[in-house]
A and B are shown apart, each in its own frame.
Chain A
Amino acid sequence: DAKTTQPPSMDCAEGRAANLPCNHSTISGNEYVYWYRQIHSQGPQYIIHGLKNNETNEMASLIITEDRKSSTLILPHATLRDTAVYYCIVRVSNSGNTPLVFGKGTRLSVIA
């Protein structure tokens, strides 16, 4: 079962920051937080992941609370192409040898 809780849907105005929350209150010390998104009818796309520290890449920023029980994915300037289902996933290994367990995700709609 998924170990995360996300709101089922969110709207965001184009050009504004999209902040997607995720609760993972039972996360263990060696578990990473991963974010993926799935644009309609495509395979999931990796966005970002982190263990303790905040992370940033060309797509997004990941803010993890100090107690690691929740995190926020930030898309700094949302565009219509960011409309997708976003999945927050907690998993132990960073090695590629254990599967991702998907929850229901958040459906983000970016509105012009």
Chain B
Amino acid sequence: SAVISQKPSRDICQRGTSLTIQCQVDSQVTMMFWYRQQPGQSLTLIATANQGSEATYESGFVIDKFPISRPNLTFSTLTVSNMSPEDSSIYLCSAGYGYTFGSGTRLTVV
């Protein structure tokens, strides 16, 4: 199974600012997936990132708020833009045949 390194592991950010989360996979993968987990809730898919094309966003998530980059087959970033306290969540990436997950980024917006 793929091994995913995700960073930062946590951050506290001021409202109105942006945070970029990085995921590095130890093998080449076609698709990478980004999820949000709000406090006490299950995981919600934000978008699917395919190398060489624009990410596909789920209903309720837009590119202006959550821009995603996928520059190669082992790396992706998710940016949470113009943050508000409602964006406080754990953000996770996933990839690979075994659907390995990163360890998550715990974001607190104050």
A96 to chain B, nearest CB (A): 4
Query: With a CB–CB cut-off of 8 A, which chain A residues contact B98?
Result: 46, 96
The 8 Å CB contact of A96, one of B6, B35, B95, is B95
Chain A residue with minimal CB distance to B45?
Answer: A99
Binding site secondary structure of chain B: strand
Given the interface contacts A43-B102, A44-B101, A46-B100, does A100 sit within 8 Å of B94 by beta carbon?
yes
CA distance A99 to B46 in the complex (A): 10
| Bitwise interface map of A from 59 to 100 toward B, beta carbon under 8 Å scored 1, else 0 | 000000000000000000000000001010000001111111
Given the interface contacts A43-B102, A46-B1, A46-B99, does A100 sit within 8 Å of B42 by beta carbon?
no
Q: Does A43 lie within 8 Å of B42, measured CB to CB?
A: no
CA distance A36 to B94 in the complex (A): 13
Q: How many pairs of A and B residues are in contact by the CB < 8 Å rule?
A: 56
Q: Does A43 lie within 8 Å of B103, measured CB to CB?
A: yes
Stretch at the interface among B13-21, B26-34, B80-88: B26-34
Given the interface contacts A41-B106, A43-B92, A46-B1, does A103 sit within 8 Å of B42 by beta carbon?
yes
Query: With a CB–CB cut-off of 8 A, which chain A residues contact B100?
Result: 46
B residues adjacent to A (C-beta < 8 A): 1, 6, 29-31, 33, 35, 42-45, 48, 90, 92, 94-104, 106
Q: A43-B94, A98-B31, A100-B43 are in contact. List 14 more A-B contacts (CB 8 A).
A: A36-B99, A42-B104, A43-B6, A43-B103, A43-B104, A44-B92, A44-B94, A45-B101, A46-B98, A95-B97, A99-B94, A100-B45, A100-B99, A102-B35
A residues adjacent to B (C-beta < 8 A): 34, 36, 41-46, 85, 87, 94-105
